[in-house]
Structure 1
Amino acid sequence: MSKLHISVAMGDYDRNRALYDGRVQIDGCDPVYMLLNPEEMFFRAMRSRDFDITELSFSSYLVKHAKGESPYIAVPVFLSRAFRHTSIYVRKDRIKKPEDLKGCRIGVPEYQLTAVVWARSILQDDYGVNPEDVTWVRGGIDTPGRPEKIKLDLPPGVTIEAAPAGHTISDLLDKGEIDAFIAPRPPSGAALSNPNVAWLFDDPTTVAKDYYRRTGIFPIMHVVGIRKELAEQNRWLPAAVFKAFGESKAKALELLADTSATKVTLPFVEEQLKAARETLGNDFWSYGVEPNRKTIEAFLHHHHAQGLSCRKVGLDELFHPSTYESYSI
């Protein structure tokens, strides 16, 4: 029996490395891996369905899935997670605390980006800054004229403006024409060296740890999607993909914990690993539905409340049915 030839687009992360170097196989598959940045993957996946299996923006997937228009069905593999307190930059000469953002202008690359959804939820839940309390200015981080990947139908009271032609939101932050900036990447160019531009939270790690202790939420950014027709034709495939990505992550964590010679080019890795386990538990980067129920349900709530998903999607319909449960021995 010949193997299924598939294309797989994903980021170059340690948790994926055992897949593309061949140490872990997807059962029954002969994959071609493409290691791409998120912007390219997500644009090509949603615009032209270029890949059989692909990393997806959680938010973009949910926008499409809620309408029944997603070309992909997700499996609960969460390749990117991050506490987005570090995604909020402000003009420190005018913004001293989160509540000061009311009435301000905030730059975003796209309104529906997952990182931006999570950051808005933090500002709303913890500091009372609602989406309609600010003016959102949409534009590229490095390149002017970035389009919104997906057409949105936002609720009344939400104000979005396009950045002036030829300008990025990084430029606008540097010049003081916006008060804040929220994005998955930091501002670029002169804004990075501007002494008036800095994180909103002076110690975002401490704030994020407090957020986790209060909420139990470790924000999910990306999921893995399989083209629907491929999953329908090969009903064994979603479970095989879920299994393989989990095995690859397990190998990455084994290496990370081997401190005889650190596997990442960063000091204090052993200390950071210990701190992560003390705060989030040993399975701090879990895949699967049940270990992540609280985080997923919070995102479903905020995504719909922010007007991005046209209906409240239930957790039981979010992923391929075969990935909600697994065998045990």
Structure 2
Amino acid sequence: MTYFLRTFDQDDSPFLALPIFPNRSFRHSALFVNVDSGIEKPQDLAGKTVGEFALWGHDPGVWMKGVLAEEYGVTPDRMRWVIGGTNHPIPAFDWIPQPVPDGIEIRRTEGDQTLSAMLEAGEIDALLSVDVPQPLIDGSTKKIRRLFVDYESVERDYYRRTGIFPMMHIVAIRRDLAQVPGLAQSVYRAFNQAKDIVQERFRAGAAKQHMAVITPWFSELFAANRALLGEDWWPYGLDANRKAVDTFLRYHHEQGLSKRLLTSEDVFVPGPAGTV
């Protein structure tokens, strides 16, 4: 989403979006802390040094900075930021604009540094990352934990209160192709049909306790998700996603990543494919 939205600061932004969201994830689980940092609740992040994966404002970063500011009163300028790779060193991206607003203290990792190793060593206090620190996955560290230990409960409560299921990715189409009669609508319908096939497969699988899924107790999870998120738990279309999209657009602007506050009408293909 953020890579796409940054193109709108160009004079000739090349793309428009279709309301198709192939990747979503609740992002409270993307916040990690060093156990010796003294961070027990979100407000404790104030005055701390926080790593962020890849760049100032990757998608989980945009979502959680917005949530931290809006729900916990901790704005990004109250933290120091270190940008780099989580489990592997990565160079600075040179293919997208990387604006940083005034008042934000940022530095990059150096050499072979990784944010995961820095977090484990206490060189940074917290980490906001799409990638889970490898030592946490391996179970090889006692120094790293999630800020929201019971993140599933926190994320489910967030959805109940807001109705937002955060999206990470979006499908875009070239502006010139968006003018071809029926093309955007055909792409939108095709993605919807593909999603419907997958969702129906999961619904039908419930009758046999999802034996085709190699995850035990999956049926209980599926039933709980279905009860909370509804029959179309991964909706496409702007009407079903407008609040989430507009929230992300607002966060993007508030964090200095868009020069102006974009609207859904600015970024989506007009007409049926953008409004269904």
- State the TM-score, normalized to the length of structure 2: 0.91
Matches within 5 A, 1:1-329: 58-94=1-37, 95-109=39-53, 110-148=55-93, 149-189=95-135, 193-232=140-179, 234-257=180-203, 258-259=205-206, 260=208, 261-322=210-271, 323-326=273-276
- Opposite residue 261 of structure 2, the aligned amino acid is K
Distance 1:292 1:91 in 2: 35
- State the TM-score, normalized to the length of structure 1: 0.77
- 1:93-129, CA deviations, whole angstroms, 9 ceiling, x for partnerless residues? 2221111111111111221211110011121112111
Residue 276 to residue 64, structure 1, CA distance change in 2 (3 Å): same
| 1:187 shift after superposition | 1.3
Distance 1:122 1:101 in 2: 13
Q: 3-state DSSP class of the match of 1:137?
A: strand
Distance 2:236 2:134 in 1: 32
Q: Is the 8 A contact 1:90 1:197 kept in 2?
A: yes
Distance 2:231 2:167 in 1: 17
Counting aligned pairs with the same residue, the percent is: 36
| 1:66 shift after superposition | 4.2
Q: Is the 8 A contact 1:88 1:199 kept in 2?
A: yes
Superposed CA RMSD = 1.8
The range that moved more, 164-173 or 253-262, is: 253-262
Which protein, 1 or 2, shows the higher relative CO under an 8 Å CA cutoff with sep ≥ 6?
2
Residue 280 to residue 191, structure 1, CA distance change in 2 (3 Å): closer
- Opposite residue 204 of structure 1, the aligned amino acid is Y
| 1:189 shift after superposition | 4.8
Residue 312 to residue 263, structure 1, CA distance change in 2 (3 Å): farther
The range that moved more, 252-261 or 143-152, is: 143-152
- Opposite residue 312 of structure 1, the aligned amino acid is L
- 1:195-247, CA deviations, whole angstroms, 9 ceiling, x for partnerless residues? 02011011001111111122111111110012333334x33221111100110
Distance 2:23 2:135 in 1: 25
Residue 299 to residue 284, structure 1, CA distance change in 2 (3 Å): same
The range that moved more, 284-293 or 221-230, is: 221-230
Distance 1:325 1:173 in 2: 43
Distance 1:305 1:284 in 2: 29
Distance 1:190 1:271 in 2: 26
Unpaired runs of 5+ residues, structure 2, are none
Q: Is the 8 A contact 2:36 2:122 kept in 1?
A: no
Distance 1:262 1:225 in 2: 36
Q: Is the 8 A contact 1:63 1:310 kept in 2?
A: no
Distance 1:213 1:174 in 2: 34
- Opposite residue 252 of structure 1, the aligned amino acid is V
The range that moved more, 199-208 or 146-155, is: 146-155
Unpaired runs of 5+ residues, structure 1, are 1-57
Q: Is the 8 A contact 2:136 2:145 kept in 1?
A: no
| 1:63 shift after superposition | 1.4
4+ runs of 1 displaced by more than 6 Å?
Answer: none
Distance 1:69 1:138 in 2: 29
Distance 2:86 2:167 in 1: 22
Distance 1:69 1:115 in 2: 27
- Opposite residue 135 of structure 1, the aligned amino acid is R
- 1:285-314, CA deviations, whole angstroms, 9 ceiling, x for partnerless residues? 100000111111111111100100111111
- 1:35-91, CA deviations, whole angstroms, 9 ceiling, x for partnerless residues? xxxxxxxxxxxxxxxxxxxxxxx1111111243444322100011111101111111
- Opposite residue 268 of structure 2, the aligned amino acid is F
Q: Is the 8 A contact 2:77 2:105 kept in 1?
A: yes
Residue 268 to residue 69, structure 1, CA distance change in 2 (3 Å): farther
Distance 2:155 2:133 in 1: 21
